[in-house]
Amino acid sequence: MQDTDITGNKKAHRIHNPVIKRLYSIKEAAVYLGRPVWGIRSLIWDGKIRYIQDGRKYYLDVKDMDAYIESQKRTFT
């Protein structure tokens, strides 16, 4: 049984995707962190965030990105 959403597209019932993405490309990491692509490359080159290299491609682990965010948090004193 399928219904349609407000745009008229069919939507399936009870479909759940439990797989959560862990590795992000540099472009995806830029979106996740809200920074430009070259900003992510700079973080990698400066050793501020860890990465995985597969051939010529670089990937960032979502756990490392979250750790980077936590390490950058400051309070005003």
For the stretch 29-76, pLDDT in tens is: 999 999 999 999 999 999 999 999 999 999 999 999 999 999 999 999
Q: Given pLDDT bands bounded at 50, 70 and 90, which one contains residue 77?
A: confident
pLDDT of 20 reads 80
> What is the reported pLDDT for 39?
97
Domains in the chain, CATH or no CATH each: 22-77 (1.10.10)
- Beta partners for 58? 53
- Of 19, 26, 21, nearest to 62 by C-alpha is 21
pLDDT above 90: residue 4: no
Cβ neighbours of residue 48 closer than 8 Å, sequence gap 6 or more: 68
Taking only the tens place, the pLDDT of each residue in 7-23 is: 666 555 665 656 688 99
Contact of 58 with 26, CB cutoff 8 Å: yes
